[in-house]
Amino acid sequence: MIGITILGATGSIGVSTLDVISRNRQRYRVVALTANRDAERLFEQCMVFRPDFAVLIDENSAKRFSELVKDSDLKTRLLTGPESLEEVASLDEVDYVMAAIVGAAGLLSVLAAARSGKRILLANKEALVMSGKIFLEEVRKNNAVLLPIDSEHNAIFQCMPANFSDGLEKTGVTKILLTASGGPFRETPIDQLNDVTPEQACAHPNWDMGRKISVDSATMMNKGLEVIEACWLFNTHVDMIQVVLHPQSVIHSMVQYSDGSVLAQLGNPDMRTPIAHSMAWPERMNSGVEPLNILEIARLDFTEPDFKRFPCLRLAYQAMTRGGTAPAILNAANEIAVESFLGDELPFMKIAEVIDDTLNSIESLECDSLETILDADRLAREKARQHILSATH
C-alpha cells in the first residue's frame, strides 16, 4: 500500500483527491489529512479514511475536532500548529504528499516533503513560484519526485519527451502552448470590470475551485503564476511559453516540436484526471471522470489573450524575466490584493495596480536561501497593504 498525506484535504483539490482514493482503496492508505479550520469536514473525512494523523492549524477548530472525536471511535491523532504540516509531510510511512494548501502557507510543508524524498503531487503552484530554484534543488538532492497536478502542467508533462529535464533545446521541443479559459470576464466590457463582485469573480465557467484561485483565474494571474510554474517544472525560459485562450477548457495544454508536431492532452475539465494521473504514474487508473464526448464538444476555439484586459498576466511575465525574488514578491502582493478584493475592500481592477506598485517598490534579490524568499514575502505583504490603503482612501 502507498502511504499518502494530503495537505489541504478539505479544499477543492483535497476533496477530489479523496474521491480518487475512494475508487482505488486497495492501492492507497491515507496517513494524514490536514486543514486550516474546517473541523467538521476534516472529521467526516477522518471517519471515512481513518488516517493516523489529522492536522488543524486553527486552535478553536482543533478544540471542536476533539469534541467530535469524543463521541466517536476515531483513533486518529490530532496535531496543531503550522510545524505539524512539515511533520506529516516527512513521516517515514508516507510515500506521496499531495500539496494542496493554497498560497504561501503551503511552502514549508512542501519543502519538507522534498527534503524527505517523497513523491510530491504539486497543486500548490504558489510554493514553486516563490521558491523555484531552492525547491528544485531540494527535489534533486533528495531524490524526490515532483509531478504536476495543475491541469495544464499535467497535460504538458504528458506531452513531453522522457528526457525533458536535460533542457528543452536538446529534445526538439520548440514551444509550450499553455491554454487558458479566460475566466468569467473574458468578454465583459473592460469599463464594467471595476464593479464586479467576489461572487461574480468566483463563478468560473468551467472549473469548480477554491476562492483564491477563482479570483486568480478571473484576473488571469493564475495563468501568470502558471507561466512561472512551467518555467521551473520544464526547465525552460518564459519566451518558450505562449498563453492561448481556449474557452472550452478541453485541451489542457500543448507541446510543439521542431518537426511540426503539436501534442495535446484533452479531457473533461475535472481535476480528478491530473490527480489520478500523477498518483498512478507511470501507470493509469480509474479517476471517476466521464470520458470526453468529442462529438458533443464539436468545436475548439483559440485566441490570443489581451494584456490590457489582463494586466496581471503581463506582470507575471515581467516578474519571471526580472528573476530572483520578483516572483515571490508578485505572489505575496497578489495574495494580499486578492484577500482584500474578497473582503470587499479593493475593487477588482485595482488588484493589478497594487501588485505593480509593490513590484516597483521592492528590489529583487538573488534567490539564494529560504530566508531571502521569506523576507521578500513578508516585505511584499507589508508594502501591498500600504498600497491598498492608499488606493482605497
Tell me the C-alpha to C-alpha distance, in Å, between residue 97 and each of 24, 115, 144: 17, 12, 11
* Stretch binding ligand NAD (CB under 6 A), from 95-103, 227-235, 295-303, 351-359: 95-103
Quick check: 184 binds ligand NAD (CB under 6 A)? no
> Half-sphere exposure (CA, 13 Å, Cβ side) for 195?
4
Among 3, 11, 51, 224, binds ligand NAD (CB under 6 A): 11
Quick check: 271 binds ligand NAD (CB under 6 A)? yes
Residues touching ligand NAD: how many (CB under 6 A)?
A: 26
What minimum distance in Å lies between the beta carbon of 15 and ligand NAD?
8
Quick check: 33 binds ligand NAD (CB under 6 A)? no
Report the distance separating Cα 235 and Cα 168, nearest Å.
7
Among 30, 32, 213, 255, binds ligand NAD (CB under 6 A): 213
What minimum distance in Å lies between the beta carbon of 290 and Mg ion?
20
* Stretch binding ligand NAD (CB under 6 A), from 179-187, 206-214, 251-259, 285-293: 206-214
What minimum distance in Å lies between the beta carbon of 12 and ligand NAD?
4
3-state secondary structure of 256: strand
Among 95, 150, 216, 339, binds Mg ion (CB under 5 A): 150
**Structure-block grid coordinates of residue 34:** 490536514
- Centre a 10 Å sphere on the Cβ of residue 103 and count the other Cβ atoms it contains: 20
Nearer to Mg ion among residue 12 and residue 84 (C-beta)? 12
**Structure-block grid coordinates of residue 294:** 468529442
Quick check: 210 binds ligand NAD (CB under 6 A)? yes
> Half-sphere exposure (CA, 13 Å, Cβ side) for 93?
10
Nearer to ligand NAD among residue 41 and residue 361 (C-beta)? 41
Nearer to ligand NAD among residue 216 and residue 357 (C-beta)? 216
Contact 372, 246 (CB under 8 A): no
Q: Tell which residue, 226, 287, 207, has the closest CA to residue 19.
A: 287
Report the distance separating Cα 375 and Cα 266, nearest Å.
40
Nearer to ligand NAD among residue 36 and residue 200 (C-beta)? 36
Place of cell 528526457: 163
Per-residue binding letters, 147-176, with ligand NAD (x by CB under 6 A):
---x--------------------------
Among 3, 4, 5, 13, binds ligand NAD (CB under 6 A): 13
Long-range residue pairs from 74-79, CB within 8 A, at least 24 positions apart, any chain: 74/43, 74/46, 74/47, 74/50, 75/50, 76/46, 76/50, 76/51, 76/52, 77/52, 77/53, 78/53, 78/54, 79/53, 79/54, 79/55
What minimum distance in Å lies between the beta carbon of 274 and ligand NAD?
8
Q: Tell which residue, 120, 117, 115, has the closest CA to residue 7.
A: 120
* Stretch binding Mg ion (CB under 5 A), from 101-109, 144-152, 231-239, 240-248: 144-152
Q: First-to-last CA distance in the chain?
A: 57
Q: Tell which residue, 270, 262, 184, has the closest CA to residue 219.
A: 184
Quick check: 14 binds ligand NAD (CB under 6 A)? yes
* Stretch binding ligand NAD (CB under 6 A), from 12-20, 133-141, 237-245, 334-342: 12-20
Per-residue binding letters, 97-136, with ligand NAD (x by CB under 6 A):
---xxx--x-----------------xxxx----------
Report the distance separating Cα 226 and Cα 330, nearest Å.
13
Among 18, 20, 30, 35, binds ligand NAD (CB under 6 A): 35
Amino acid at 272: R
What minimum distance in Å lies between the beta carbon of 6 and ligand NAD?
9
Residues of this chain that interact with ligand NAD (CB under 6 A) are 8-14, 35-36, 38, 57, 100-102, 105, 123-126, 150, 207, 209-210, 212-213, 271
Residues that bind Mg ion (CB under 5 A): 150-152
